[in-house]
With several copies, the nearest count.
Chain A
């Protein structure tokens, strides 16, 4: 099994969620993060003084999926989250050793 982690633009979340559902994903976990990258931050002004906001709000999506589903899910996210503007984000995968569903204690693919 693989954990797919995607950093996306916050306002693309609904599209990504829908795409993942369409791709057969039944569960996922998201969190609010801030990103630093090529997109750069921006300068704000307050009472005449400036300050730099280096970190841009992003949403992190985490999904554990079966090996077989990895490519499909990565593609689904890539397409749904793409605006073609800088800062669209990244997706990476890591290998999951074991997975447990807390409610039932099921393990492995059954737990997804």
Chain B
């Protein structure tokens, strides 16, 4: 490595061969195994990059579906749950999730201790594995900001996001991907890329957050009926959806954790479910509400994606189609339901990630080509899936609920009514998110 240090990006001189790079090593002949290992690492790094790109997607969806006066705040939350999440997951989360320990939690390997993780993860080096996992942790955390948008104190959200990325999510990972109790059931829990582990953890935390916060001012009329508070930018929301779709091609195929040609099928299942979710969500809201609502159709894409995330490795194309199509219907009714019962979720995060996360996990028990109830393989897998859904759901609801209550009791969770009306941008962050040339008179009219 000394050599590399000396030579910048690897060129010792003009027109000499690269030194001290694998390239050179090849002259002495690399083995196919080594190349496969290199390929595995490169592929997972690229997949991780795609998952990290999803942060931009979440930020745009959430910004688009909320009001202009809070746009800087929502972007900032998305940025900081990534930044804080990376540090928290590196410091303790990764150890809780993948460190040696008991069936419930990892107890060693804090701060990415290289002695604990010296062996890597299969062909993946520990850093490669970590970068993929940390991207997932940030995804779980960021789901919540949308449901709590437009009324949460920034400081309080910051605390929440550290605890979720650093503790709550990692524990759930330990139970499952980390080899803990859910992976040790007779018929182990199967959640290929995280319908439950990532999405419904985010979704249930979002549910507790939205409940404990209460609805935004003006969301419910004096008659208690929900009123629409339209988001300020449908193009932002839909570009966000496209970016999330793109990122999901890292999220699902990357979860194979190896460069295996099977990732093609995982990607096909993913895209079919996304398309099906979009079409059924559009049809559902069209029939129910009279128009093909754009934001809801965007939710449908995400619902389809979440719905196939657990099963993308074990569903065939028809299974993926059904998983996505059902999710697209489900998300519409879930959004309407939460709206009606007084849970104000501006972006539909609870419905997309919580409800469809559950559905996707159960769909494995129904449609897995090997093990699915409808493929005649009995209910074992389905029962396990149910256990997983309930256990993770309960754990998240309780811990996230306790966390939000604790924050509420100490630093407070919600901004003042005045700040909420004025918009969080100016009062929490100092300036409006749009310049005076863009923002029309405080959105006063027609509110």
The interface of chain A, by Cβ under 8 A from chain B, is 10-11, 13-14, 30, 32-34, 44-51, 53-55, 57, 59
Contact = CB atoms under 8 A, between A and B. Distances in A.
Contacts of A47: 228, 285, 293, 295-296, 299, 335, 339, 348
B1 interface: no
Contact of A48 (B339, B426, B444, B446): B339
B332 A14 contact: no
Contacts of A59: 441, 444-445
Contacts of A30: 445
B288 interface: yes
The interface residues of chain A, by DSSP majority, are classed as: strand
Contacts of B295: 46-47
A44 to B, nearest CB: 5
Chain B contact patch, size range: 20 to 34
Contacts of A13: 444-445, 447
Given A45-B290, A45-B293, A45-B431, A51 B442 contact: no
Interface of B: 226-231, 285, 288-291, 293, 295-296, 299, 332, 335-336, 339, 348, 421, 426, 430-432, 440-442, 444-447
A57 B436 CA distance: 11
Contact of B336 (A10, A44, A48, A54): A48
Contacts of A54: 446
Nearest to B426: A44
Contacts of B426: 44
Contacts of B299: 47
A11 B421 contact: yes
Contact of B441 (A10, A46, A49): A10
B37 to A, nearest CB: 46
Contact of B442 (A10, A46, A49, A50): A10
A35 to B, nearest CB: 11
A53 to B, nearest CB: 6
Give the 8 A-B CB pairs with smallest separation, nearest first. A10-B444, A32-B441, A49-B228, A45-B430, A46-B228, A51-B228, A57-B442, A46-B431
